[in-house]
Amino acid sequence: MTTPPPTDPLKPGMDPSAWIIRFAHLVPPPGPVLDLAAGAGRHSRLFRSLGHDVLAVDRDPAPLAALTTDGIGILAEDLETGARPACLERRFAAIVVTNYLHRPLLPAIVAAVAPGGWLLYETFARGNERFGKPSNPDFLLAPGELLDAVRNRLRVVAYEDIEVGSPRPAMVQRIAARAA
């Protein structure tokens, strides 16, 4: 199976993020993949096309409904209730998170990466407020915050805290980290 061509990571609901595509082939199928805050399921489709069992989790399952015909599991779950989300009670070969940040979940997300598994995370960073939304610091990663979240728990393979220019200027932070 082939992966779709990389596109810009800031097009939610469109093509998969180039960052996620870059590392997706390193997750051996059929290992289970969690697409957390899945939106319309762009990364769920990618990992399913690579032969993975996929669980797509989002508060609003409506945009994910069509994925059930692709063999993708769908779970409607509010990730911000304060309780540990049920989807993070098991372990995954990969956990994918893009364009989403709820800091209290970071330790549980890292803990749900199975031995040998991957955390592929990409979202907005401080400095993005000068470009527009999101501009609330609650939704912007501090410098090195993803590094701190995985420190002494996962091995960082790649990390960026950069400004991107397309499709619109934004500050993003991204990490690919692997469990021992």
Domain membership of residue 46 (yes or no) is yes
Contact 34, 60 (CB under 8 A): no
Domain membership of residue 23 (yes or no) is no
Task: Please give the tally of structural domains in the chain.
Answer: 1
Domain membership of residue 106 (yes or no) is yes
pTM listed for this prediction: 0.90
73-111 burial code (b ≥16 CB/10 A, e <16): bbeebebeeeeebebbeebbbbbbbbbbbeeebbeebbe
Domain membership of residue 7 (yes or no) is no
Domain membership of residue 11 (yes or no) is no
Domain membership of residue 21 (yes or no) is no
pLDDT tens digits, 97-131: 999 999 999 999 999 999 999 999 999 999 999 99
The phi and psi torsions of 47 (rounded to 5 degrees) equal -70, -30
Nearest-angstrom CA–CA distance, 25 and 46: 10
The phi and psi torsions of 73 (rounded to 5 degrees) equal -75, 140
Q: Range of 112's domain?
A: 29-178
pLDDT at 66 (0 to 100): 83
Domain membership of residue 9 (yes or no) is no
| 10-residue averages of pLDDT along the chain (180 residues) | 40 75 96 96 96 96 86 93 91 97 97 98 97 94 98 98 88 97
Contact 143, 125 (CB under 8 A): yes
Domain membership of residue 125 (yes or no) is yes
pLDDT at 65 (0 to 100): 87
Say which CATH number the domain at 38 has. Answer: 3.40.50.150
pLDDT at 174 (0 to 100): 97
